[in-house]
Amino acid sequence: MMEKLDAPVLVTRSSLPPLEEYVDMLKPIWDSAWLTNMGVYHEEFKEQLKRYLKLPSLELFVNGHMALELAIQAMELKGEVITTPFTFASTTHAIVRNGLTPVFCDINDRDYTIDADLIESLITEKTCAIAPVHVYGNVCDVEKIQKIADRHHLKVIYDAAHTFGEELDGRGVGQWGDVSMFSFHATKVFHSIEGGAVAFKEKTLKRRLYQLKNFGIMDSETVEYVGANGKMNEFQAAMGLCNLRHVDEAIAKRKKLAMRYRSRLEGIRGIRLCSEDPRVKYNYAYMPVVFDGYKAGRDEIFQALKEKNIHTRKYFYPCVNSYECYKGDFRPEDTPVADRISKQVLTLPLYEDLPAEIVDMVCDIIEETGC
C-alpha cells in the first residue's frame, strides 16, 4: 500500500526566478523611490510583453479581474453578453458589475470552450457582445465566433487568463477579438505576483483604459471617467520581467510532465483527456482529466489522492450559473454539458518543478482506485 506523503503536493505552485535576480531588480526601485504609478519597470514590462505575446497594443493592470472589468467598462456596452458558465467567477462578475446581463451558452464536449454552434440561437436585440473563455489553455473556435460577431455587429471579449504565450497559426491568441484579458496571478504559468493585461485593437481604448485604471484621471486637473485604482506597481513589474526570462523553460518542463500524464492515462476506458490542436502552441497550464464512465467517480479519485496528501482541484465546479449569488437568475440545466463536465473533471498537479515520480504516483492511485 502506498504511503502518505509527508509534504503536501498542491495542484499548482508559483514559478519563481532566482532570489538574487529579483533582489537585484529591487535596488533601482529603492534608489528612485518610484514604487507605483507607471514607473520605469512598468513601461519596460509592457513593451517586453507586447513582443513576447505578439501584440500591437497592451495595457497593464493590478490583476486580471480588474483588467477584464475595466476593459468591459471602457467599451461602454449595454444589454446582454453571451458567455460561458464553465469559467472562474471573475468572468461573470466582471460582466455583472458593469450592469450587463450574462446569457449562458453551453460548452462543447471536446475542449470545454464555448460551443460556437449554439451562440446564434441566444442572440437577441439586446445582445451587445460575446465573452468566450479559453479554457485550460484550449483556444476557442475564434474564426467561427468572429464570423458570428461580424454578422450581428457584436463585440468579442476574450477571457484569455489560461492562455499566456499561446499562439494559433503563429498568431498570439490576444490578436483575436476586440479585447483579450490575460491574468498574471501567482498560480498561472506566468505571473507578476498579481497582475493582468488587456490586449486591444481599437486605438481609442488605449486612452480610456489608461484613464480608467487611474481613477478616470487624465491630468492633474481633468477627471473624465468614473474609474478605479487598477495600476500595476513596480514590484509586480519587476517580478514579471524576471519571470519572463524563464517562462519558455518553465513551459518546456510543464510540457514534459503533461506528456508523462498522457502516456499513463490516455486510452484508459472512462478517462478522457483533451486532444491537442496542431495549430496551437500550448503553454500546458493545466492537466484536466474527465472521469466519464470510469470505475471510480471524480469525487472518489479526489478523496483517494487527498488521503495521500496530493491535492487536486475540481476546476470548474460548480458552474457559475449554480452560484449562490446568482440563485434564481439562471438554470444549470440550460447548459447540460457544462453542468455534467463540472461534476466529472479534476485538474491534476502540474507545475515546472513537480517530480516525475509524483506524476507516476498520481496515475497509480487513479488506476488503483478504479480497480
Rounded Cα–Cα distance for residues 43 and 39 (Å):
6
Spans of the chain below 50 pLDDT: none
pLDDT of residue 370: 80
pTM above 0.75, yes or no: yes
Q: Grid coordinates in use for 260?
A: 508523462
For residue 212 the three cell numbers come to 480608467
CATH tag, 247-369: 3.90.1150.10
The answer to whether 79 and 101 have CB atoms below 8 angstroms apart is: yes
Taken in order 102, 144, 262, 267, the sign of the CA dihedral is positive
What 33-38 contacts at long range (C-beta under 8 Å, 24+ apart), as own/partner pairs, is 34/234, 35/233, 35/234, 35/235, 36/231, 36/232, 36/233, 36/234, 37/214, 37/231, 38/231
Task: For residue 182, give the H/E element and its range.
Answer: strand 179-183
Return the CATH fold of 19-244.
Aspartate Aminotransferase; domain 2 (3.40.640)
> How many whole angstroms separate alpha carbon 270 and alpha carbon 292?
5
Domain residue ranges in the chain:
19-244, 247-369
Asked if the domains at 19-244 and 247-369 fall in one CATH topology, the answer is: no
* pLDDT on residue 231: 98
Q: What is the pLDDT of residue 220?
A: 86
Nine-digit cell at 153? 455587429
* Amino acid (1-letter code) at residue 335: T
* Rounded CA separation 216/225 (Å): 4
Q: How far apart are the first and last CA of the chain?
A: 14
Pairing state of beta strands 127-131 and 80-83? parallel
Helix axes 356-369, 247-265, angle to 10 degrees: 30
Torsion on CA atoms 237, 240, 242, 246, rounded to nearest 10: -170
Q: Radius of gyration of the chain from Cα atoms?
A: 21
Interior CA angle at 269 toward 256 and 4, to 5°?
A: 60
- Helix-, strand-, coil-residue percentages of the chain, each rounded to 5: 40, 15, 45
Q: In this structure, what C-alpha cell is assigned to residue 1?
A: 500500500
| Residue 58 phi, psi dihedral angles, 5° rounding | -155, 140
**With contact defined as beta carbons under 8 Å apart, do 270 and 294 qualify?**
yes
- Which of helix, strand or coil describes residue 328? coil
> Distance of alpha carbon 168 from its chain centroid, rounded?
16
State CA 66 to chain mean position distance: 14
